[in-house]
Structure 1
């Protein structure tokens, strides 16, 4: 926490106001909403805790270990959690979900399950203050405000209930270490973040370019950067007898990166995000004065390009937020576009049907939300639901690309007069 905030009575009052209101919103949402993947995550953890099956989440080993340790702790303290073991160990996804949302203690257990994400959210909201505005307490306070009331943070963690915040936490630590020029530790922590969740690998190249001072640094940092995945791969082959990396490469999630493409002739095609990604990297390589704020801007550009050009799930938008909340302080107009992004995202959710729309509210009244007509049948009465959603998906991409343009203009201001490259 910045001492400058508490040394100023007005700033300290604003800080406590933001913190208390933000926490009230979080605690109000904690017991009531979740998307089915939360239950799946804890079912895999329950396989480890109650059945001793360490291979229950082969593709997310570290994430499963964290959830398993947390589940073991809360079930040891609160007996109600152990009462849910038959539901958590039920392999039928529909009956286990029905059993969970109709349980007497669903609100208590749901709050406990999501409590893990609240802990990481609290850690992130204070750590992120260390990323910028060292001599500007009000700037830091505004970063705190933009995180506390960020609609994507609140939605992904407390309504959708997804665990991406764990990887975001590790990524923020890596960025703080990079800011302090602790280059090897920064890449080591980012390697752990990559092992937790694949998305931090997108900023590995710009982080290495920012930190490296010699050819030796480039080689060493690159090796360290992939060591997280390599370590998990070795463990996976030894313990499970199969490859994690090739398993991931063959999943639909990796194909999301390749989803936007131009088909040329026969087997020849161009993957748009790959093209955009390396154009962004080349731009960063040739940028003058590679300061830390410029690195953060490029991090935002990369993640915005991903959600603009690729098929994505709603929780993936969270990866852009740590970078955006800092840029918001310098470019306030981006805040309005971000809220527009969020509004469009709520329409794009219709893609996935009942699972991510009406079923999210099932703990409140499972019978009502199971049998109420979903959004897709209602839209289909008047127009193609796929076309309807894709119109708004296209606008979402336009907003994201426009935000990239505005951030690129901010790059020019950061590095001084002239274009962002040589």
Structure 2
């Protein structure tokens, strides 16, 4: 049975499912996700299959999509504060999950890790990224890597090569602009899509060591490389390499200029290949490259997404059994489109059907180094400060120099309050 939840794009799916004998009595699990309508459709048969395999449990899947980390965590917090938490919920890693762990709203899962041998199911870097204070609070769902996705037909039309350095990328942007094509498109609403570009500039201008220091507040934000990163962001705006007036554009809507051929690039995750399919785009016209930073190691942004169980769940054993089932390789291989970019080892896309996803799988399971996105490195207060400065730079309301000073002031204020 399906019904529409109150968040516009939200969808609730109710399905009777059976459980193991230890869970014989009727149980209802609330399952929170950020799936859009297309993803909900792909997950419906998974819920139905769980129903057929295990009688006795009802799963209510509720989705809040489209806003990313800007709205979903607040909806989740409201649900938990009201005394009606979901049993299983989606969450990103890092400090986006931090408040739920610090507030004792997420259940420690170490016992279930041992029971289900979850550590053997995923690449070690994914499990390590989710570990906090020596405990596990989440189970990897998807491994996400980010790169510049580009229109291959535009690159061919203007004889452009995949850039291997920032200078080459700037040259590509200049050529595209000369020919009436925007270099890239971004959705500025909520802040996190623009952040992907600014994070790349910081990694390029500051290098891995300083970038990591900025994310941990061991390095000052008021330094020349940060000023240079802000200046580069402003230069991309002033030179109209970016589709203009994008601060109020949602990230999903930012894809339209690329679909129309008006913009050549966008920074998206490895899941973009599935998005292109859902949006009925010709996948042959799209490919990706990792952000060229000019540093050794040349890192790229990556992170695991996870399933968590609420500390106040009335059915933690049933919730853990469900999480175990949806993260098994044998389950996921039956529904490849629903588990694109999975973190589960041994599940790889069909390279004939998803050649780009196949390349991403190789990258994500390699020893290539990664960097953490700002909104996963910082607590919400500092993320909000980062977005404020970032948007002020885009809008021309502050200079790169003042932006760096302002960000450092906010960092010091936060550290002083935390002691």
TM-score, normalized by the shorter chain, greater than 0.5: no
Higher helix share: 1
Alignment TM-score, normalising by the size of structure 2: 0.26
Alignment TM-score, normalising by the size of structure 1: 0.26
Higher strand share: 2
Say which structure, 1 or 2, has more relative contact order (CA 8 Å, 6+ apart).
2
